[in-house]
Structure 1
């Protein structure tokens, strides 16, 4: 009832009597209309926008005379005098000198010319979105200088800058209208799966590199800002529909649909609202690699085969150890051991894996996204003070690759924000909540379908017994292994059979990873932040202060985190300030200095200061030299702290102080008891063993090769703490006649780099004791853990980007960029450490387009080249070959129906490629789109 009354008051308060009406049209120097131009009463926020034909009507209670300010991106703004009611104006905007005059907000949390930004910033505006050669605006980010976009699936792409990227990209932040788009459960952005509708995007800004001084912990390696259109400035009904096909060798040709609609209305000078809806459906890029991910050149004929996109074959055992156990285990049916004494002498000491299922049998590759958002905006004083409520919901189906491959089916996320703001301050609070839907782990689906028809003990027992019998019968080693696998595979559920389908359905609905693969989640976080800019109160300098607070509530029901007995709650906060001072030495030279400082504190760690100092020197307006030094930090993520997940090859265990004992598991050590090693039949091991009683994986591997116990090295990694980076950057932006140059170079030095280290924890004994723990390793009585820790090795990275933009022959836009990225790290000296740099050393991008090749007709071509690079992540490591991609589109505008039509193709050359080890090859997409009234 209170909500209804509040909305009623807003509506009543918005009813006003408009005394003055102004009509007009906004055109360019060629008398062509400028759709979407902003017309605002100077000094106020009262205004309107031009329609598709450039026409506008402004109704206001202001009494003439007053001034209008008319602006549009890509054009120089003008002011016009209104002297009477019902006045009609024709406003001509001249094309802006360069894109350097465009205004950005993200670099300093205050509007400034991109030319004068103290740090590197990339911008993707409305016109760029309209003319991108990519299938949608989010994919168009791939063409920005210095940006890497890793394709997880058709509907999930991960944006990154300056290296150290995985799909779980916790070093990069993504904000939509000031709200963090990271999922509470996974703690990183999931692309645009539940994000923005294309026709509602006002602008996209991207800050590469550390931005912690203003934006906090997760803005460590870069930050992406997406701003939507305010209904006070952008009214009307607009929408788009795209139809086409995706084409991939593995999946064939499949239909693709993308639809979006936006409705916005300014009811009065006080009240406005909008609503958006989007729907996308297609077929994902199928992942079909059968290459062995643990051995170069491995094939399905290998005994211990582990295919990249084959699941269930992760389960393996040493059949000699199995034979030794069978010699001492009594068969209840016969009263004798399963194998006669001495049989193990016939069995070689080799690892054998179970036969797995290809990924295509464990998912339908459905890619889908359904999202909606709405907003109510209230300006009680008809000025720049605004109160707004924004709600967002989205659900989708996609493929996510982390430690394993996951089918994200029916994932749901919602956001709700309440914000008060004007030109000098904002205060906002929002909540982000998610639900996992029917999502499941495809690796454990394969494992547990296998176990549904035959448990591991029976399978390996049958394999070993059949091998012994075949050997005794005179078979060769190769023949004996073939006979053994055939025997063990008897009764296997074949894909498509009723038995397979039933086991599949049972498995994906069971959250117990010993028998199922479903992961459940209903996590959320609460966030509040505020900022005040004192620039209107002091002439000395522009001063800002602000702060933020966040509370996490993790609730995966024990399927991801160690929240078996209820939600895990923890919080963090931060405060910051910034001072900017401009010094004008002459009409042709000025200097702007910026200093920022932020303090952040998590309840688990000591507080941390993040300073930034930058200087920008402008010469003759057309040349700007900038330099900055800044530090950033990153708090350990929710997974770093509280995960407790058996991923098959290793158990992932977070290192929050109270998490080490949360994860526990019972292990069978009956063999050690029978050998007289003084052990019980079973032991309970907690996650603490990974951090306090473990060996380095590489040393265990050397022991297996040499048999020398002296090879063992104690691991015992420290529990995780915040990661830090110091970044030095220099840059130049300038204009030479029609050529625009943008250059930047940086060096990053990392401290306490957060990583995962695989360690081996023996079930009994104390590491380094030289006896009992060595016996445990020799008996295969140990567990592999993936521990979250900090590296004490020196890690750095450096790189540079150069962008050139020019307009040729009066209308052709030509641009190109080159980016160099390099890691400064000695891998050979640190074999147990994975930095996950995952970035090509060389990237080149270029585009050529003309928005008016002839009347109402335009085109755009975009080319990308990526050097080959090595991808390393918990799912697997491998080389990503170099690739060349060409996207293209032609478009035709029909002003009479306020529409534009586009025909486009991505990866027009048809050379399939991938950007990360283990994912499906990216094919081509061909589409036709119709966009109407997109101002």
Structure 2
């Protein structure tokens, strides 16, 4: 009897369950009534996706009517559909979201509409990527308001906001799925070399300005988060084939090839995986800037190559060191400098301008409960590249490898992740050092004697005298040149060559928990923490680690409170973070923001915020120690200075017993770079660029982090002009104060004696009356140095250094921006934005500090397009104008002319084979331009691409 009852119960429950699991079917379309692939359909906890034909079926959460299902997709308005019949097929049309209605996560680490974000944010979603007119989605980021792209080479673009960056942009953080893409030891992003394939990108979110309150160190100028596609939602095989050619006056017309494949597969509701492979190869933009940069002013001088003895070309190498000809003839004016003939960039890379990049990524996704409440991800990203890079010098990066591996566990209210990043510099080498060592094959003093004899004794022209002095110079493409070139580029910098060795790694851990659900949605309260351990290894080629390894640990913790009040019109956001690094004191980064929504639909939002950011100097800035052709470059942190000593340094001292001067030796220690040195310009000064007195003691301390404090206000609005036209408007203005700017200062340390730093004492009458051979050097009644130091400076028994330190000058920056987006005539997308930014500073560094602002004051950008002009045919046009600006870097300084860049594309969709063919060009009708002196001039690029199933 009991068995019969159990069987009846089981059958009854099965019947009830079967009845409750009612399925409905339907189709999803876009605005052009094309099938919408991978739309998300939800009914309670049940989730489904539309297939390649736009069709779907889903189990309803109950068998009662009516019911509601929600159809959504990134970048599109969610549609709520009421189900009144189980038999009727559901048809849904998804329309693109207004820009400000799109959802972002980066601003507060929780999903929120852009219009509600407490700070300025820019976003590029799937529809924006599809409409992009540039060569890649990454290039297209330059069209966003307030975003600057620094095109160092074809493959390397450095994204930045709010100024103060060169190609090695250490003040801006770039992350892919939560992983920092910074080069491990140099602490700057490598652009998209190790980033995301065109086929796998889901969205890009950019926070301009200080973002350290949530993201920690180096989120100083801003942060960019690249999010990739989840294989649970994006399945199938997608391919991209792109080809075309670049056109440049110097480099000519050269083909390029770019291919990518993405495979995503959902095995079941618990397990999914994806793999990506992409590869491009092209001729790099040739760098051939032959203007002369003077060593004192570092300004660019137009002129003929080597027409002056003091020729130091921007893209010539080996002509950096010099000799003053007054040493050969006192009748020659002081400052008549002679440099050797340098080698061009083409000669030092043997005319191999090929840039190539191969990227592979694979990821496994596991959902133990077969839904999004808990997901485990394991990801690996690998990258191999050849390219040219411009930093302190120009580098030929050959076989450069980066690998990243991540394990992440995340749920509805938390995530915990850890990742490991490693890199290998391969066969990379420094062009400046290569040219210098090649030229050192001939004795520099003999070179000067030969030039002097021909020029001043024989009366020859500069060109003839230089040619005679160059008679033993290694000539490119000869066997002698090639043999020496191979030896130099295969010998480490620390051993006298130009090869860079870097096999560095770091480990990163971080996590976040949101208490919102535990508080019954009363407020959004988060806590988070992070830890990072750096293990740089360069064998002394980049860091001072030849004798002793460098290891640095960083950790941080933060919390954020967010609450909506007054019928959810007012939103309060308060955050604070604490960070600590081994070489620096702890740093607090607070943020406070207010939003207030106006209007019946709350579509007009005012906002104001106070934000802070900081940047830890990069490991290279901290542990720099290498000799250039002129000076030794040193990072001024205590640990690095303690590693430096010169035990047998000759100097002249007064001997009491002998009653005269004698030679002696002593140990010069690294700490003396700060407490026993003079500013080099105050010893060997140039009245055109130096504004201080002579013999000025160095007034700089150990290196500390940079800090920025920003006040910002903004307004966002969405409104309708009529039933067909919607307009987004986004305005913002900011003011920032910057402290402790990192810069490079030249100092000179005497081999003997003492310099009196920090508040020299007044000389007494007795001291002023001392015999000449015993006096301390006095200027304006102030003792500057003792006798031994004075004679060290007078006789050249000194050591010259360039230290990485913090400027005494305080910098302020400010700006505002305006952006709008609308649809004209129902289906023409139109966007326009303007951005203004500038800076000022009060000089407290004797005219020797100039911020690397490197950003135009005025920028205007516009886009116009239509995805379906007629019969699956679409187009897009974008234009960017910016005024002239000044470029400042340790490599070169110079003015950059204004420019206008126009990109355009035509596209045609072939729905039957799920393809899109695009034909486009960049910098159409425009002049060639360069982002910085020394980088390759950018010409035109024309391309044809074929994307299948994306």
- Fold match (TM-score > 0.5): yes
Deviation string, structure 1 residues 324-343 (Cα, Å, up to 9, x no partner):
xxxxxxxxxxxxxxxxxxx7
SS in 2 for 1:370: strand
Give the structure 2 partner of residue 442 of structure 1: 431
Rounded to whole Å, the distance in 2 between the matches of 1:728 and 1:600 is 22
Residue of structure 2 in register with 1:732 after alignment: 715
Which residue does 1:350 correspond to in 2? 336
Write the distance in 2 (CA, Å) between the matches of 1:469 and 1:165: 45
Q: Which residue of 2 aligns with 1:662?
A: 643
User: Could you tell me which residue of structure 2 aligns to residue 367 of structure 1?
Assistant: 355
Query: What are the superposed Cα offsets for residues 695-740 of structure 1, whole Å, 9 maximum, x if unpaired?
Result: 2233234378999996221124211112211110000011242322
Aligned 8 A contact 1:49 1:235 in 2: no
Tell me whether 1:310 sits opposite 2:331 in the alignment.
no
In the other structure, the counterpart of 1:35 is: 37
Name the structure 1 match of 2:27: 25
Equivalent residues in 2 for 1:144-183 (5 A)? 144-183=144-183
Instruction: Determine the C-alpha separation between the residues in 2 that align with 1:695 and 1:492.
Output: 37
Distance 1:79 1:741, change over 3 A: closer
* Mapped pair 1:319 → 2:319: no
The correspondence of residues 118-137 of structure 1 with structure 2, limited to 5 A, is 118-137=118-137
Q: Is the 8 A contact 2:590 2:612 kept in 1?
A: yes
Question: Structure 1 residues 156, 22: closer, same or farther in 2, change over 3 A?
Answer: farther
Within-5 A mapping of 1:64-79: 68-79=69-80
**Does residue 761 of structure 1 match 2:761?**
no
- Matched-pair contact (CA < 8 Å) for 1:555–1:566: no
Per-residue deviation, residues 655-681 of structure 1 (Å, max 9, x unmatched): 2212103245689869999xx96445x
TM-superposed deviation, 1:42: 3.4
Q: Which shifted more, 610-619 or 92-101?
A: 92-101
2:592 counterpart of 1:613: yes
Q: 1:346–1:806: structure 2 CA closer, same or farther, 3 Å change rule?
A: closer
Q: How does 1:549-628 map to 2 (within 5 A)?
A: 549-585=531-567, 590-620=569-599, 621-628=602-609
1:921: which partner in 2?
937
Where does residue 745 of structure 1 map in the other structure? 733
In the alignment, which residue of structure 2 is the partner of 1:545?
527
Q: Is the aligned partner of 1:508 residue 2:474?
A: no
Moved more, 31-40 or 362-371: 31-40
Which is further off, 554-563 or 784-793? 784-793
Aligned to 1:5: none
Q: CA RMSD in A?
A: 2.9
2:15 is matched with none
Q: Report the CA distance shift for 1:557/1:30 in structure 2 as closer, same or farther (over 3 A).
A: closer
Alignment of 1:787 onto 2:803 = yes
2:204 equivalent to 1:204: yes
For residues 503-544 of structure 1, give each alpha carbon's deviation from its aligned partner in whole angstroms, at most 9, with x where no partner exists: 221111111356311100111111000001111111321111
Using the size of structure 2 for normalisation, the TM-score is 0.88
- Whether 2:79 is the aligned partner of 1:95: answer no
Q: Is the 8 A contact 2:72 2:94 kept in 1?
A: no
**Cα displacement (A) at 1:450:** 1.8
| Cα distance, 1:63 vs structure 2 | 8.4
Change (3 A) 1:157 1:709: closer
Residues 173 and 180 of structure 1 are in contact (CA less than 8 Å); yes or no, is this contact kept in structure 2? yes
Q: How many Å separate the matches in 1 of 2:727 and 2:82?
A: 36
Maintained 8 Å contact 1:346/1:471: no
The match for 2:419 is 430
CA contact (8 A) 1:48 1:232 kept: no
Preserved CA contact (<8 Å) 1:593 1:615: yes
In the alignment, is the contact (CA less than 8 A) between 2:312 and 2:319 conserved in 1? yes
Residues 683 and 495 from structure 1, CA distance in 2 versus in 1: closer, same or farther, beyond 3 angstroms? farther
Give the Cα–Cα distance (whole angstroms) in 1 for the partners of residues 68 and 270 of structure 2: 20
CA distance in 2, matches of 1:404, 1:569: 25
TM-score by length of 1: 0.89
Aligned-pair CA distance for 1:920:
1.2
- Paired residue for 1:326? none
Give 1:229-378 correspondences, 5 Å limit: 229-294=229-294, 296-297=301-302, 299=304, 300-321=306-327, 323=328, 350-363=336-349, 364-378=352-366
Corresponding residue number in structure 1 for 2:105: 105
* Deviation at residue 462 of structure 1 after TM alignment: 4.4
Of the three residues 384, 409, 420, the one matched with 2:409 is 420
CA deviation vs aligned residue, 1:452-477 (integer Å, no higher than 9, x gap): x42xxx242243156347755xx33x
Deviation, 1:485, is 3.0
What is the deviation of 1:835? 1.5
Equivalent of 2:449, from 460, 464, 474? 464
Structure 2 residue runs without a partner (length 5+):
1-17, 655-659, 721-725, 756-783
1:116/1:190 CA distance change after superposition, 3 Å: same
Distance 1:156 1:665, change over 3 A: farther
Secondary structure of the structure 1 residue equivalent to 2:641: coil
SS across alignment from 2:448: helix
Give 3-state SS (helix, strand or coil) of 1:785's partner: strand
Q: In structure 1, the residue corresponding to 2:682 is in which secondary structure?
A: helix
8 Å contact kept, 2:652–2:792: no
- Greater shift, 65-74 or 517-526, is seen at 65-74
When structure 1 is superposed on structure 2, of 520-529 and 656-665 the one drifting more is 656-665
Q: Distance in 2 between the 1:203 and 1:708 partners?
A: 50
